[in-house]
């Protein structure tokens, strides 16, 4: 706990001379300003995460895309994958599942590299991309059949109708007065 006393002092030193810190880290001098370092407001919820009990165990992070926001997707995948790894302390395999042709883009290469011009990338993030067409290949056929069977079984339940039907029914809401 005593070490926490250094934190406010160092923060004050950074604020007193921000131009000194890039030079201290071996970078050329340049105008430098202090910005807000609070990242608590970052929304990191991914579409779905799965824990795979393999050896070693890992997570599968799925992002389903229907629209064309390709420039935003790789940074979101990277952020959410990193947050999942941090929270669960497991390796993460990330996949962008492109549900419509409009969701595809040449920007979605499966690789995101960060680095300064003329320098080796300091971070490399790899992700998988699967389009609807790829999902219909022979290698994925059994998974698709299994998924479709589960969806049909789910649609027969009293809670909802098939997502493939044109009508929609809603889950019956329990009134607050029921005390649940």
| Sheet order of strands, 91-98 included | 48-52, 58-65, 91-98, 128-131
Please state, in angstroms and rounded to a whole number, the distance separating the CA atoms of residues 163 and 19: 57
Given this model, what pLDDT does residue 35 score? Answer: 79
Given this model, what pLDDT does residue 178 score? Answer: 45
> What is the per-residue DSSP string for 56-81?
S-EEEEEEEE-S--TTTHHHHHHHHH
Return the DSSP state at 140.
Answer: G
Given this model, what pLDDT does residue 176 score? Answer: 47
Q: What are phi and psi of 104, to 5 degrees?
A: -80, 155
Nearest to 129 by CA among 63, 57, 80, 79: 63
Longest dimension (CA), the chain: 67
Residues of the chain with pLDDT under 70: 1-6, 38-39, 41, 44, 132-180
Looking at every residue in the chain, the average pLDDT score rounds to: 75
Please state, in angstroms and rounded to a whole number, the distance separating the CA atoms of residues 61 and 127: 10
pTM: 0.63
């Amino acid at each position: 706990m005593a070490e926490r006393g250094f934190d406010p002092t160092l923060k004050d030193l950074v604020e007193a001379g921000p131009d000194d810190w890039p030079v201290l880290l071996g970078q050329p001098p340049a105008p430098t300003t202090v910005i807000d370092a609070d990242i608590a407001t970052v929304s990191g919820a991914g579409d779905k995460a799965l824990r795979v009990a393999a050896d070693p165990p890992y997570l599968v992070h799925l992002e389903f895309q229907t629209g064309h926001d390709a420039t935003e997707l790789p940074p979101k995948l990277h952020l959410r994958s990193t947050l999942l790894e941090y929270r669960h302390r497991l390796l993460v395999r990330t996949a962008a599942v492109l549900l419509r042709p409009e969701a595809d883009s040449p920007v979605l290469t499966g690789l995101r590299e960060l680095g300064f011009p003329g320098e080796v990338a300091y971070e490399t993030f790899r992700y998988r991309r699967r389009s609807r067409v790829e999902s219909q290949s022979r290698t994925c056929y059994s998974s698709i059949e299994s998924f479709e069977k589960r969806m049909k079984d789910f649609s027969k339940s009293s809670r909802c109708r098939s997502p493939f039907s044109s009508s929609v029914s809603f889950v019956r809401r329990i009134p607050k007065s029921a005390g649940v």
